[in-house]
Amino acid sequence: MTSTLGFAILAVLARGDRTGYDLAASMRRPIGYFWTAGHSQIHTELRKLDEAGLVGFRTAHGPGPQDKKVYHLTGPGRRELREWVTRPPRERPERDELVLKTYASWLADRDLVRQLFIDQLAAHEQRLAEYERAEASFDGPPGFGDPHFGNYATLRCGLSYERHRADWCRWMLSQLSDSL
């Protein structure tokens, strides 16, 4: 059974051939906004995908003494990815450390909790500004079927998330100020 990371790799390879290094870079932006993986995880998963026949590779001259592997999506990999895209996502437990800290925040010093939310608000506003710059690089949403449609759609989700989190941080700050 292919892991979610495996499907993330297949999704990147569906857009074009990549080396392991290129895959890791692609996983940083835009996929890194919503799914992360390290080099070792990617290379381990690539071996599994290759063994399952979902990806293949060719060797090419590398910058160092060893050849590099350039991976591509196979027909079975494309079929499996296509089927996976329309299946409901697996349920996953929510793990939000800031919400957990908020739950227990009544135990902490108000000024320290307030500073935590000031810092979190700044981080969410910074990401929101970054996402807004990225959105400005599009000339409206690409049509469905265009590989950039997925980039735009996930960017829209990121924009909504960052706006929501910034609003919540502002609310928390107002609650911490109102009860002084």
pLDDT at 11: 92
Q: In a 10 Å sphere around its CB, with 0-12 CB exposed, 13-18 middle and 19+ buried, how is residue 43 labelled?
A: middle
Model pTM score? 0.78
Q: Say how far apart CA 177 and CA 110 lie, in whole Å.
A: 9
- Is the pLDDT at 135 greater than 80? The verdict is yes
| Nearest residue to 37 (alpha-carbon basis) of 3, 69, 14 | 3
pLDDT at 178: 64
- DSSP H helices, the chain, are 4-13, 20-28, 39-51, 75-85, 97-103, 110-136, 147-178
Please state the three-class secondary structure of 49-72 as a single string.
HHHCCCEEEEEECCCCCCCEEEEE
pLDDT at 31: 73
pLDDT at 147: 87
- Is the pLDDT at 179 greater than 70? The verdict is no
Residues 20/70, Cβ–Cβ less than 8 Å: no
Class in CATH terms, 4-85: mainly alpha
Q: For the residues 140-145, what does the mean pLDDT come to? A: 94
How high does pLDDT run on average in the chain? 91
20 or 166, greater pLDDT: 166
Query: ∠ CA 176-179-180 to the nearest 5 degrees?
Result: 90
- Is the pLDDT at 165 greater than 80? The verdict is yes
